[in-house]
Structure 1
């Protein structure tokens, strides 16, 4: 049994008997450099009291079962990219149905990080090595806010989320992971006219990621509005990646809804198909090191674990996202994959299913932040791609 773990804040390794005292030493009041006993006690308590989430564990792993089903497809014109690991966390009637999808998707991303990245496993959730339940995650998010991550956005919740049924979005997902030094990134996909309407509203407008907080002109949430928007080249503001995933100018022809949302599909394809991230090289099913994608739109969020393309006649390519939905039952998903029957209806989503004017993604890049990088992560920014 491992008797040591890494500090979630400076990432140095200490014996478990010393870890708590060391972690407490990081929390100094920013104004007078004196210890902050309140935050220190919260960290100490949470490291020892957080509860492992109860979920249906698929013995052969979900990705393994999905990969086998994809490899057995008899269509040689398809190519699929998948994240290397993810557990499915379903919403539970007695716990979080109707409001907990954001937390469930955070749990799915956490399962990937803990399984596939030892460096991140050592720091995430105090080095516990497991995915906490929703109340514990809510405590960790409050601590992230108290440490200065997403301070502006936290004001929308009055810096309090524990025990709440408030909806959360990609900003909260990013803030939580960033507080442990993980490089969580946010990407916005938005209708150009809707984005211009938003930009014309003063910065004091609240986000729309909590029920009942929409403005009269109906910007659809839950989208995160306390964000520094960046071009695809990293610059703040300006014309953003219109009709192109590589930052090109595209054209001014009005696109159909499916053609506009194909931009999102192209982005996801380029993300997973990065050649530097390939692990397993089956001719048609390729495993990637890339993290799953937290996938947010108005009223719900899910997790994208991969993407498939079917090469049709005349060079036309048909894309399907592979999505895990917290609203689905894990046991039913497992059964459909083991039987290789019915899983496509549960997992595959084509471009025609993308009906919303706004979408948002959150993903986790490799590496652990230190020093100035941690300070930079406190401001949640995003890359904006307009349709």
Structure 2
């Protein structure tokens, strides 16, 4: 249900009843008292962004009651601000598609619409990449999926700034999504420069009923499994001990092992984007725009957004792959200039097998549809598909 805040009493009211509710404040001789109340509320200091159990007196209304949650949602909606970014005329994907079409002996697959959100010096440079990737994924969801647009960010239909995203994450924790993450951050992230990762991205989307999924690629020996995600991956993506006899593996062994892992990652991304266009993916010298959403791409200390993948066809040899990524650390204007001139854009966007040197990577994406009832409740516990070479 879409809720609005009454400008007089500040209570959350269903949007279809807001006009009648407000008019009631100004009936007969009550107008003077209500106007004075509205004036006092307007000049009062802002309320805290959320309430924790320790902040609520025992005699207060339980925070689990619907009106309490509705009030918090109403509060966040009333404060959230649209994120500022450099909008690329004609759209980023269209410019990229034009450049990819000039490359021979290659098949490229790209996602639909997506905006680039860059980290800004003196604002979020060095810590804000996770939030910027959430913004990039959100720009796609709001544009391409009507059902997501209705439930995301209170139906605002725009991508919020980082401060607003931090409030939504705190609310997700308050609602019981990703309890390990909430414990780690002590339920508070608003106004901080704390790093986040795929788990926080999934928690925010889950709180809207979106079916976010996490895929974990690890270079330790083993097999595919499903496990529980714990903690922000910027902090917890670590190299696992690969040897069982307390001796370091030979460099050649590590190189061979990592090479298998990275091929697995590349192949998974290729299959992901090809899923709805298998015939087109088999052709050479084509660029396919799919309806698949971009991927949140996480490794230790940094994250980016994968918007597609390219396969280069070698003469009498195997295909080589290049991930097509958007990096929050790059300036949008420089990226746009290189694409329009079809010069130097590869260094911004292409990432080949040789660039994948971290021991562990994670991807996050959102399946279509909205979870309801028991399925929505199950989203509170984050799960990951765990792939090992």
Aligned pairs for 1:41-60 (under 5 A) are: 41-60=71-90
Between 1:31-40 and 1:377-386, the stretch displaced more is: 31-40
Q: Write the mapping of 1:1-387 to structure 2, written as runs, cut at 5 A.
A: 15=15, 18=18, 35=65, 38-73=68-103, 75=104, 77-192=105-220, 207=231, 209=233, 219-220=238-239, 255-275=256-276, 284-387=286-389
Indicate conservation of the 8 Å contact 2:107/2:310, yes or no: yes
Q: Contact 1:7 / 1:127 at 8 angstroms: preserved in 2?
A: no
Total equivalences in the alignment: 326
Distance 2:119 2:173 in 1: 25
- CA distance in structure 1 between the partners assigned to 2:269 and 2:209 by the alignment: 24
Please state how far the C-alpha of 1:78 moved relative to its aligned partner: 0.5
From the superposition, tell whether residues 309 and 59 of structure 1 become closer, same or farther in structure 2 (CA, over 3 Å). Answer: same
Q: Give yes or no for contact 1:277–1:289 (8 Å, CA) kept in 2.
A: no
Shift in Å, 1:151: 1.2
The structural deviation recorded for 1:311 is 1.0
Unaligned runs of 5+ in 1: 9-13, 22-28, 222-251
The offset of 1:93, in angstroms, is: 0.8
SS of 1:349's partner is: strand
**Does the 8 Å contact 1:194/1:219 carry over to 2?**
no
Aligned partners of 1:34, 1:258: CA distance in 2, in Å? 49
Q: Which protein shows a greater Rg?
A: 2
CA deviation string 1:191-250 (max 9, x = no partner): 11599xxx9xxx9x9746466xx7xxx9359xxxxxxxxxxxxxxxxxxxxxxxxxxxxx
Q: Closer, same or farther in 2 for the Cα pair 1:206/1:185, shift >3 Å? A: closer
Structure richer in helix, relative to its length: 2
Deviation per residue, 1:7-61 (Å, 9 max, x gap): 79xxxxx746559x9xxxxxxx9x9796365543221111122000000011110
Runs (4 or more) in structure 1 with deviation over 6 Å come to 31-34, 277-282
Give ranges in structure 2 of 5+ residues lacking alignment: 5-13, 22-52, 54-60, 241-252
Moved more, 340-349 or 39-48: 39-48
Contact 2:216–2:386, Cα closer than 8 Å, also in 1: yes
CA distance in 2, matches of 1:110, 1:385: 26
Shift of 1:315: 3.3
TM-aligned CA deviation for residue 313 of structure 1: 2.0
What's the secondary structure of 1:314's corresponding residue? coil
The CA distance in 1 between the partners of 2:205 and 2:280, in whole Å, is 24
Give the Cα–Cα distance (whole angstroms) in 1 for the partners of residues 135 and 238 of structure 2. Answer: 28
CA-atom RMSD in angstroms: 3.3
Post-superposition offset of 1:130: 0.2
- Once the two structures are superposed, residues 93-125 of structure 1 have per-residue CA deviations (whole angstroms, 9 ceiling, x without a partner) of 121011000000000000000010111111100
Change in Cα spacing, 1:260 to 1:72, as seen in structure 2 (3 Å) is: same
TM-score by length of 1: 0.77
Distance 2:261 2:200 in 1: 27
Q: TM-score, normalised by structure 2?
A: 0.76
* Secondary structure at 2:256 match in 1: coil
- Structure 1: how far apart are the matches of 2:177 and 2:280? 33
Does the Cα contact within 8 Å between 1:278 and 1:287 map onto a contact in 2? no
Residues 335 and 16 (structure 1), Cα distance of their counterparts in 2 relative to 1, 3 Å cut: farther
